């Protein structure tokens, strides 16, 4: 036995039931040796981590208050360092489509880890992953695995420029494609949360090659191609924007983008880091029936591990090193543990009826939220596709960033905290989409709607 006084166990509950648990506490002979608060952790983090967080939106700056430091998660729940359980609707910002700590994913990771955490050499599992992606994604004929969505996005841009021999790229205001310099011009996600259209530190000489237009504006893209079509290497777009909340590209707009890129020899690049395997098994390509030239993927394909990919037409992908002159490399690309997690999750989402059940749960949540808001006279709109959703304190569904900027951020803050106090964890920014997992069953959705009814009731009194 260990010496007296040495912690020998960390409390873990297989399926937490009450809203308060003794999480993160260490025990000897049944007595707690320590307890800690989210505030204490945040104070400590800010001494060594800028803003106390390793990704800006986690800091709760838009909504105010203290970030929750998560101790563990299972299924649809997360439990923070104080032991409070939350129904989770961010799902690690999209990857956890099967729910947290799914046994099959965890087992795959554990099994892979026993064979070593990294090789720096090819594996058969990488081929399995590539074949699965090419089978499921309509536009992907060849694929390259990387470690993050940012890496995939910047690599796709470089490949498009190398393939076309052109410098200019087109993106859309409010769309976020990772934090590579070329893509941080009028970007979405955390930049919008903090009121910054673009990041400091991006050289003007680089930014001038990024042409930014309004999402869903056909006239603007037609005018730009008429004027500069032969200078444009690619058009990069989120088919359904998830970084200025959930905003759909219209079918007519997407079709016109496809036509203009084909006509002028530019590549159409779809950023499906969020929508890929999230809105449908074949991603947004399946929803819209449009075939882009390149596709950027991430989140779901990693099962919660650092894994992303970019792929598309074989003739374009052949320009990548070692076949072509466009260089791209990564020490941890195709990491065996991440690939194992991703493959386990890809098997889960291919089970019969998976997306039908996921969509039904998401739609039930959206209908219930809208009904609760209406009962209490709160102006509120919702939209969803597959397991991805958005809600807006606005009179109409937004079509672009200017529309989204008109939503009431002060009411959003009140709603966010009212839900958090009732055990529901939503994205701490009105510019972020939300996510439902397969673990969000009817009981979980009903609990969420009860919390929302109480939150809207309190807001209407205010």
Buried b / exposed e over 138-176, threshold 16 CB at 10 Å, is bbbebbbbbbbbbbbbbbbbbbbbbbbebebbbbbbbbb
CA 271/CA 384 separation, integer angstroms: 18
Asked if 271 is an active-site residue, the reply is yes
CA dihedral of 309, 287, 345, 359, whole degrees rounded to 10? 150
> Which of 77, 86, 89, 176 is labelled catalytic?
176
**Cα(266)–Cα(261) distance, rounded to whole angstroms?**
5
Question: 262 is written with which tokens?
Answer: 């084909």
- Host H or E run for residue 316: helix 314-317
The separation between CA 444 and the C-alpha centre of its own chain, rounded to angstroms, equals 21
Asked whether the beta carbons of 98 and 349 are under 8 A apart, the reply is: yes
Widest CA span in the chain = 78
Ranges assigned E (strand) in 107-180: 142-146, 168-172
Tokens of 391: 């809600």
Spatial contact of 77 and 100, defined as CB atoms under 8 Å apart: yes
Beta carbons of 128 and 357 less than 8 angstroms apart: no
**Of 71, 299, 413, 431, which residue is the catalytic one?**
299
Which one from 80, 88, 125, 271 is the annotated catalytic residue? 271
CA dist., res. 262 & res. 109, Å (int): 42
Phi, psi values for residue 348, rounded to 5°: -65, -45
In the sheet that holds 267-272, the strands lie side by side as: 142-146, 308-312, 294-297, 267-272, 232-237, 168-172, 210-213
176-181 LR contacts (CB < 8 Å, sep 24+): 176/238, 176/243, 177/149, 177/150, 177/153, 177/236, 177/238, 177/271, 177/273, 177/296, 178/148, 178/149, 178/150, 178/151, 178/152, 178/153, 178/154, 178/273, 179/150, 180/150, 180/153, 180/154, 181/206, 181/207
**Angstrom distance (rounded) from CA 214 to CA 172:** 5
If DSSP codes are grouped into helix, strand and coil, which group holds residue 190? Answer: helix
CA 251 to centroid of chain Cα atoms: 22
Residue 299 falls in the annotated catalytic set: yes
Tokens of 324: 């072509």
Positions marked catalytic: 176, 271, 299
């Amino acid at each position: 036995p260990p010496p007296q006084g040495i912690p020998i166990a960390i409390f873990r509950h297989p399926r937490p039931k009450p809203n308060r648990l003794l999480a993160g506490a260490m025990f000897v002979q049944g007595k707690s040796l320590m307890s800690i608060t989210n505030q204490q952790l945040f104070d400590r983090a800010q001494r060594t981590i800028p803003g106390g967080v390793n990704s800006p939106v986690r800091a709760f700056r838009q909504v105010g208050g203290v970030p929750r430091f998560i101790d563990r998660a299972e299924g649809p729940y997360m439990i923070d360092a104080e032991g409070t359980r939350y129904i989770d609707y961010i799902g690690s910002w999209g990857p956890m489509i099967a729910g947290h700590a799914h046994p099959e994913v965890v087992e795959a990771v554990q099994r892979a880890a026993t064979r070593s955490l990294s090789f720096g050499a090819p594996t058969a599992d990488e081929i399995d992953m590539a074949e699965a992606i090419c089978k499921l994604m309509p536009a992907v004929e060849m694929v390259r695995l990387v470690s993050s969505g940012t890496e995939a996005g910047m690599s796709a841009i470089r490949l498009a420029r190398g393939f076309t021999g052109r410098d200019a790229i087109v993106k859309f205001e409010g769309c976020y494609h990772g934090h590579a310099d070329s893509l941080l011009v009028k970007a979405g996600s955390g930049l919008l949360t903090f009121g910054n259209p673009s990041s400091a530190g991006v050289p003007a000489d680089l930014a001038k090659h990024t042409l930014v237009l309004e999402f869903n504006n056909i006239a603007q893209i037609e005018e730009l191609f008429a004027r500069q079509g032969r200078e444009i290497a690619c058009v990069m777009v989120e088919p359904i924007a998830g970084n200025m909340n959930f905003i759909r590209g219209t079918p007519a707009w997407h079709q016109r983008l496809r036509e203009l890129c084909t006509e002028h020899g530019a590549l159409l690049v779809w950023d499906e880091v969020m929508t890929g395997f999230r809105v449908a098994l074949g991603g947004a390509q399946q929803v819209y029936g449009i075939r882009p030239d390149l596709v950027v993927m991430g989140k779901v394909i990693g099962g919660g591990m650092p894994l992303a990919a970019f792929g598309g037409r074989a003739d374009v992908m052949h320009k990548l090193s070692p076949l072509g002159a466009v260089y791209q490399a990564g020490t941890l690309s195709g990491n065996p543990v991440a690939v194992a997690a991703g493959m386990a999750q890809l098997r889960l989402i291919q089970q019969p009826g998976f997306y039908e059940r996921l969509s039904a749960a998401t739609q039930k949540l959206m209908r219930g939220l809208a009904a609760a808001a209406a009962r209490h006279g709160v102006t509120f709109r919702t939209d969803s596709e597959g397991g991805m959703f958005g809600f807006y304190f606005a009179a109409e569904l937004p079509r672009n960033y200017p529309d989204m900027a008109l939503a009431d951020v002060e009411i959003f803050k009140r709603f966010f905290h009212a839900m958090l106090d009732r055990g529901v964890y939503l994205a701490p920014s009105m510019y972020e989409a939300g996510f439902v997992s397969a673990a969000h069953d009817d009981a979980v959705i009903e609990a969420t709607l009860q919390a929302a009814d109480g939150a809207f009731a309190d807001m209407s009194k205010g």
